[in-house]
Each structure stands twice: as structure tokens, then as C-alpha cells.
Structure 1
Amino acid sequence: MFQPPKSTKYRKEHKGRNRGIVANPGVHFGEFGLMALAHSRLTARQIESARRAITHSLKRVGKLWIRVFPQKPISQKPLEVRQGKGKGNVEYYAYLVKPGTVVFELSGVSLELATKAFKLAEAKLPFKAKLIERRIITDESK
């Protein structure tokens, strides 16, 4: 399970807005990536659940990279508490996902195995996602 961030300037944050898209999405570490297609809030528990689904389906073959880290504190007030009296306690941490964010990357596995693993992981995530491959640019003029 993820630990909270080691140091933050403030313990609690404003809710904020999750707008925009990722300017240059791509696979940087592995051969295949799982790219988000919608805006969402990804919690540490959801990341861990998807990671377990991927590693279980791969049976410890290949290498997995997690490209996101839950760093935004999400606060909630307890049940049946009146409004006011300050902001609630930090309940969990989340990552604000934008369309084009590569959440997971895989290498050392076949396309079929990567597709199967990412399909299982997508069921654990709160947004639609698709599999992308690393683009290998070759200079054919030489």
C-alpha cells in the first residue's frame, strides 16, 4: 500500500479543478502503457488494486512501472456532523488523472499478455483506458 507523501507544504488542500489534457503522452520506460481517456481522481487503493491485478495475471514475468503517485490529500468530515467547525480530516490521498496520462507501463511481455493484464487493471480503475505501444523511430534514409 502507498505511504502518504513524505513532506508537503500544507497538510490540507483546496479541492481545485481537474481540467486540461496531457500535452505529450507516451511510453517512456516500458514497451506498453495504459493510457487514461478521461478525467478522474485515482486513489492509492485503486492504484494498488490495479497493480495487484496486473502482477497476478503476469505471474511475475516482465517489469511493471507505476507512473503516478497519489499526492493530493482528500479530506472528509465524519458522518452525522454539522457543517462548519473547520475543514475535515485527511482521509486518503489521490492523483488527479487527465486524459493522456500513462498510469502503468510494462516491458518484457508479449502484446497478448499485456492486453490481458491491462484489461484486468482497467476494471479496477474509475476511468476508461487504452493500451498504447512505444513508438520506435528509425531513420530509413541511411
Structure 2
Amino acid sequence: MKIERKTHNRYFPVHKTCTHLLQFGTIGFKNKNYQRITQLEINTIEWIIRKHLKKLVVKKKFKFWKLTNFNRTLTKLNLESRMGKGKGSIFCKSSLVNPGTILFEFDNLTIWQARNLAAYLKKKFSIKFSIVSRPNFKIGRETQR
């Protein structure tokens, strides 16, 4: 059983992974601004992505990676508790995301399906992101010679 600790300090662990380049998939969603993302938000975004991509991708099976490390715990006290009773209990995990970090990666998707998914997610959430792809991945129509 893993015991979670309450974070009392503002020090963030430095991860040795490269978060601004694609590692697994061919298309990714890159964050544009500083923000705090909770585990509940990531889980709902993941659920919506899986639900929406099942409608879009029919023949191929897509792969999907979420690349967030939760390094903070958020605590909450009851509304009716008096002052001086200590720190509240843990209710959620969160992480601070810098601009340029890749949140999600996809494989076996076309760029048009990724744009459709990005437009759908921008309507639902306030997270601002852009679509990135590998350099050798063809975005537009192939030119004929």
C-alpha cells in the first residue's frame, strides 16, 4: 500500500526526461502556457479522447500516451472547521506544466483526425495546446511527380 505525503514545500523534482520532443508517437499535443493540471482533468481528457477517437479511427487501432508526472498533492479542509487544526486531507494530485511540454502523444492517426480532435477538445476545456508532429511525417497531400 502506497502512502501519499502532503507536499509542504514548493520544490519540484527535476525529471531527466525530455518533455518538449516526441518520444513514442508521431503526433502530439504541446502545451502553450503555464498552468496547473489535476489528475481529475487528465483522466476526463483521456476518457473524452478515447471516446472521440473510437468514432474517428475505424480501420486502424490507435495508440495513445499521456505524459504527465504528478508531483504535488492538493489538500482541503472542511468548510466548517476552525483555524489552527492543521493541514487538511489529500483530495487530488496535480502538476505544474510549463509551456512547450507535450501532454499527449498519438500513433496511427492522420493529421486531419488530430485537428478534428484538437478542435473538439478546445471546445470542452480551457487547456491551450498546439499540434506537433515528427519532421518526416507527411502533413498535407503528397505531391505527385
- The TM-score with structure 1 as length reference comes to 0.76
2:19 and 2:102 in contact (8 A); partners too: no
Residue 108 of structure 1: aligned partner: 108
Residue 119 of structure 1: aligned partner: 119
The CA RMSD measured in Å over matched residues stands at 2.7
More deviation, 94-103/119-128: 119-128
1:36-68 deviations in whole A, cap 9, x for unaligned? 111111111111111111111211641101111
Residue 74 of structure 2: aligned partner: 74
Number of equivalenced pairs: 128
Aligned-residue offset at 1:28: 1.2
Secondary structure (helix, strand or coil) at the match of 1:69 reads coil
Unaligned runs of 5+ in 2: 13-17, 137-145
User: Hey, what's the Cα distance between the residues in 2 that align with 1:121 and 1:40?
Assistant: 17
2:84 counterpart of 1:84: yes
Secondary structure (helix, strand or coil) at the match of 2:65 reads strand
- The TM-score with structure 2 as length reference comes to 0.75
Q: CA separation of 1:98/1:124 partners in 2, compared to 1, >3 Å: closer, same or farther?
A: farther
User: Hey, what's the Cα distance between the residues in 2 that align with 1:94 and 1:124?
Assistant: 20
2:42 counterpart of 1:47: yes
Q: CA separation of 1:122/1:101 partners in 2, compared to 1, >3 Å: closer, same or farther?
A: farther
User: Hey, what's the Cα distance between the residues in 2 that align with 1:17 and 1:116?
Assistant: 38
Following TM superposition, the consecutive aligned residue runs of length 4 or more in structure 1 with deviations greater than 3 angstroms are 5-8, 121-126
> Larger Rg: 1 or 2?
2
User: Hey, what's the Cα distance between the residues in 1 that align with 2:110 and 2:66?
Assistant: 19
Unaligned runs of 5+ in 1: 137-142
Q: CA separation of 1:91/1:34 partners in 2, compared to 1, >3 Å: closer, same or farther?
A: same
